[in-house]
Amino acid sequence: MAQIVKRAYKYRFYPTPGQAEELARTFGCVRLVYNKALEERTRAYTMEGRRVSYVESSAALTEWKRSGDYDFLFEVSSVPLQQALRHLQAAFANFFAKRARYPTFKSRKKARASAEYTRSAFRWRDGTLTLAKMDTPLDIVWSRPLPQTAEPSTVTVSRDAAGRWFVSILAEEKITPLAPAEQSVGVDAGITALAALSTGEKIVNPRPERRDRRRLAKAQRALARKAKGSTNRAKARLTVARVHARITDRRRDHLHKVTTRLVRENQVIAVEDLTVRNMVKNHSLARAVSDASWRELRSMLEYKAAWYGRALVAVDRWFPSSRLCSRCGTLQEEMPLNVREWTCACGAVHDRDVNAAKNVLAAGLAES
């Protein structure tokens, strides 16, 4: 049965000089409103022990505009400013629910600047998108078509550290689950191989950061030699950001291909419930773990499985998948990381990662 989901479509666009100036002004106003509201809420919380609501912050924004000190806030659309207050409200809600840390101030030098427009602040007509305070539509590169039935509800415009402009269009879409699959698979995340499957297959890890490490190091050395505050330093910083953007794009593209394939081919996908946050504290493995991006792999599997009618099962992180023989069930006392292949007393010869994936699948099927 088809389900209605909210799905974001991200595209690159090329603003005119006037549009770029308007968006840069909007980004600055969004940052100012967010920081000023955070400052006021922090003062009320620390000095008076009082929580400030979104309604109070919105009323304060109106007063700031009328005070005469912030007249320039009238020059941009009011919707992104209100959305900034809503995002701050959500950040405080997560903090008080102990799901996140205390909100922090937005930096002027932040790598990514963004502004969010709701339906009343943009016009979507005949496949063109025009934002409030703009006379011409955005020059969007439609790398993939937006579904004809999709009606955009929110538009987020952003500029990354590499100077690229993106627009993310959130729309409701009807997604039909895939036909039931006969296969199920266990996935053991790794570093040498991105993932070992219970079928015996190992998915290659392209290691995008490692491949571009020399180029990145060269760009970072050039940046370190430039005088602070100089134009050449700004150019060198942009070069470093472009290398990072290339690494990120290649990594995300590979993860999308892998996760889409796993979801299409398997009805049940069993994975280990890894605590990546703790694993990156190991300085010997942090760089390799971050390059593999296990957390993003898990996140993609979660929402794609939910969309297409698949089951994703997370096996307890303390389950001894590597030390357990997948044939007879014998548990080995220890299994050092340098042991990649071992022989059980029953005579079975195991590849460490494939054996772990088989055990993860068995545990996942038992739980589901």
Instruction: Decide if 188 is catalytic.
Output: yes
Q: At what angle do helices 54-66 and 78-96 cross, to 10 degrees?
A: 140
Residue tagged 């291909």 (tokens): 257
Instruction: Decide if 353 is catalytic.
Output: yes
Q: At what angle do helices 17-47 and 54-66 cross, to 10 degrees?
A: 120
In terms of DSSP bridges, do strands 311-315 and 268-272 run parallel, antiparallel, or are they unpaired?
parallel
* 188, 201, 291, 316: the active-site residue: 188
Q: What is the largest CA-CA distance in the chain?
A: 82
Measured CA to CA in angstroms, residue 294 lies from 90, 171, 186, 328, 365 at distances of 26, 27, 15, 30, 22
Three-state DSSP at 4 gives strand
Asked if residues 312 and 269 have their Cβ atoms less than 8 Å apart, the reply is yes
Nearest Cα neighbor of 35 from 83, 72, 85, 94 is 85
* 22, 116, 209, 272: the active-site residue: 272
The residues that are catalytic are 188, 272, 353
